[in-house]
A and B are shown apart, each in its own frame.
Chain A
Amino acid sequence: MSEKLTQLRKDLKYEKTNQCVQCGYCLPVCPTYVTMKKETHSPRGRINLIKMVGEGRIDDLSVLQEPIDLCLGCRACETACPTGVEYGTLLEAAKATLQKEKKHSLPAKLIQKTLFKKVFPSRSAMQWIGNSMWIYEKSGLRKVVQKSGILKALPYNLDQFEAITPPSVSPSKRAELPREQEAKGATKYKVAFFVGCIMDAMFHRINELSIKLLAEVGCEVHVVRNQTCCGALHAHAGELDDSKELAKRNIAAFEQEKVDFIVNNAGGCGAMLLEYDHLLADEPKWVERAKAFSNKTKDISQVLSLCGGLQVDDHPHETVTYQRSCHMTNVQKVTKEPVQLLKSIPNVRFVEMNQADMCCGSAGIYNIVHYDESMTILDEKMENVKATEATTIITTNPGCLLQMKLGVEREKLSHHVRALHLVEYLAEAVGIK
């Protein structure tokens, strides 16, 4: 075997493709196979292409580009897989290998580099974005821009996303989250709260409410300093070195405070945090510390349930449904708690939608860079949502939340259907503002 092929096999983690027996059990759960209707865009097809490249039967790496780019990374195939193929690992390895070879256009490279290296990891930069959004909204600029039609000229259909951007928090209200929040009543657990980058910038309020809910059920909450972005977006883009760097910073930051759990409220971030031990498996100095970190990682719904849930005495009658976060389902394997919490609210009728485990098409920045494919997936999702007759769609991840808001807009349902994060709905039910 040539040296080049040996290296390629190593980069692509070729030996892991042999776990796939090509049974096809992943086909019906793969959103891209179901909507694009060809094997090239199925998990089994992608694994086969990686295998063919690794075996030198295809010597042109570019055959992987489109199939890998169009994968949402929802990892529903891992849940369906009977033989335990590590699809997520193969996907990230393929992305990193392509990234190595890729010749991005200079501006695209620069933007990505700035976002990944400077913006997401920096809380002050992300806060600046949050504040800018507030200024944009409050100054009336938003209305002017909306009327001008200038948005239509934006690339990637960004005009569609403008409508669903959440109302921003003013700089004065955006003050730092509390460093420490006492538990209401006796302390059941001491927890550290993971703030996240997108959550902090765009959904600051959900973070505040999360901390209050945790305190409500008996958690003493700490917001440790120097924590940063989880690194998921970097990993999904094939920038594994950046992810590792961020993982190390987070591990070190959270070691400052001795806590029972590290709690997050974003399905995608939670999945990344939970896999830090995988990410750092090749680094002997870090792997044990990463394991300790991953073992403490919990989604907020798990901790709320563990503390006995919330006490709600009365609530208006309402039908709700839940768009499951793929990474919460397929990586964190947290599926019961959000539903139990919803069902515990009096007069709330929970209706599971058909194909609840199917991705909504949000998938990080997929809905921006692969707009058409994403909207086809979303439109199928919305049919299932409508069939439930729910007036609130619950989500547990910021990407899903934005996508569901977009779905509500596209279907012109905004006068009677809303999309909320689970935390917002629970806080509203308990009367926390």
Chain B
Amino acid sequence: MEQRLLEQIKAIVSNGRVLTEKNDLFSYSFDGSFGTFVPEVVVQPKDVQEIAELVRWCNTKKVVITPRGQSTSLSGGPLPVKGGIVLDLSVMNEILEVDEEDLVAVVSPGVLTSDIHKAAESKGLMYPPDPSSSHVSTIGGNLAENSGGPRGLKYGVTKDYVLGLEVVTPQGDIIQTGGRTVKNVTGYDLTKLIVGSEGTLGIITKAILRLIPKPPASETVMAVFDSLVDAGAAISRILSSGILPAKMELMDQASMVAVENYEPSGLPTDAEALILIELDGHPAAVKDEAEKVSDVCKQCGAREVRVPQTAAEKADVWKARKLVSPAIVRIKPTKISEDATVPRSKIPEMCRRLQQIKEKYNVHLVVFGHAGDGNLHPNIIADKSDLEEMKRVEQAVTEIFEAAIELGGTLSGEHGIGTMKAPFMEMELGAAGLDMMKRIKEAWDPNNIMNPGKIFPEPGQKLVLTE
């Protein structure tokens, strides 16, 4: 970027920091997905007015700008694929207020999601969305990507807990969407439009989040199955039995073997599947529900059902699930984490398709995830330096997307589209559906300065996992 322009940026962002050293620029060139894209400058703002002025300047000068939280994204959201400015909002974390009377939290975009969890819990409340990276990820990133998490099954995802936003538009105006009330039908729901827009429509500078009372008790049920399809059937049966668990997680044989090799804890590695169910609510209710869930699992052919009693036993059971991610990358270093999601009734069929894809392309595919909401997380473990293998992985991933859509599901349950999934958008939305989205983008951001290169495919763009 020309020195003259840099000086102008520095003059605008007088309260923040402007980074231009080579090592700084390279440090903002990546996220948790693929690719390296070096920005021309990194801005760490401290003030909403300055952000508004900076965006207005960008719009005039046609300089592109990419908002970023802590860059844990698995879909390329914060990658500056067209260069320009990376706006690091992780430093804007001053405000975290919990209002017990309105049952809301007001937060700055850089606040860590887990800090919101803690602040709410200290007042007997709960902010339910719980992405597994919540101790690192910022709420701004969660909002931009509409992140989910295990509790999505019962409580929904980020969008279900946002009442209002403060947003800097691509024209550099500061607007308020929604408000502090659960009910609000005044005009178009711009709040929901911004949430999940991956930073392509504006910059979220403040959010008003809905909180709920924290459930007083929880129970865990663990069930072991000799057949993956039986486990899938048990999941469907539980969900149609009048009980809605808080979490329902699946581990297949490959993931259990990986965890046992990594940190042995006596998992049944000869079984095809294990499901973990958490029930929360009134102590008497969850006890009763745990019994019913155990019965359903047995009826569906579970060979073993366990209800851990102490807090320590419960923690042990969930630890195994947490270890899947680290355990599988010990096999090979590159993890392609997908989040294609299918309707609940199609979970067993999706499990079957995934097995076929695994064999057809001879890839190391592991299935574990939030089974209860159809968000199966098929992960492919590969080595990105092996180009021939990566070609097979590309084909397998493409076929996973196709299978999910054929079964009435979606490309992305919670990670976002970003760069990698953009080529498949039309397959899910149809030409007219995608065009409608594009027209919204063009109306908001006619100069295409806000996080360009995301969501919408470039002409002829294909999935590429090799650099």
Contact = CB atoms under 8 A, between A and B. Distances in A.
Interface of A: 18-19, 21-25, 27-28, 37-40, 42, 45, 48-49, 52, 57-58, 60, 63-64, 66-67, 82-84
B405 interface: no
A48 B27 contact: yes
Nearest to B326: A82
B70 A23 contact: no
B31 interface: yes
A37 B72 CA distance: 16
* Chain B: number of interface residues, binned into ranges: 35 or more
A49 B31 contact: no
Nearest to A20: B333
Contact of B71 (A24, A64, A82): A24
B112 interface: yes
Contact of B136 (A21, A25, A49, A67): A25
A273 B411 CA distance: 51
B27 A19 contact: no
B23 interface: yes
B27 A38 contact: yes
B133 A24 contact: yes
B330 interface: yes
Given A28-B135, A40-B21, A52-B26, 6 more contacts: A23-B133, A25-B135, A40-B24, A48-B29, A57-B36, A63-B21
A286 to B, nearest CB: 28
Residue of B19, B29, B135, B136 with most chain A CB atoms under a 10 A cut-off = B136
A21 B334 CA distance: 7
Contact of B30 (A48, A66, A84): A48
Interface in B6-43: 17, 19, 21-24, 26-32, 36, 42
Nearest to B325: A82
B142 interface: no
B92 to A, nearest CB: 11
A58 B22 contact: yes
Contacts of A67: 23
A90 to B, nearest CB: 14
B330 A84 contact: yes
The 5 closest A-B pairs by CB, nearest first: A82-B326, A39-B27, A63-B23, A45-B27, A40-B27
B267 interface: no
B329 interface: yes
Contacts of B305: none
29 contacts: A21-B333, A22-B30, A23-B136, A24-B70, A24-B72, A25-B133, A25-B135, A28-B112, A28-B135, A37-B44, A38-B27, A38-B42, A38-B44, A39-B27, A39-B71, A40-B23, A40-B24, A40-B27, A42-B27, A48-B26, A48-B27, A49-B23, A49-B26, A52-B36, A63-B26, A82-B325, A82-B326, A83-B326, A83-B329
Contacts of A22: 30-32, 71
Contacts of B44: 37-38
Given A21-B329, A22-B31, A22-B32, A38 B24 contact: yes
A25 B30 CA distance: 15
A24 B112 CA distance: 13
Given A21-B329, A58-B22, A60-B22, A27 B27 contact: no
A152 to B, nearest CB: 31
B351 interface: no
A68 B88 CA distance: 22
A84 B326 contact: yes
Contacts of B36: 52, 57
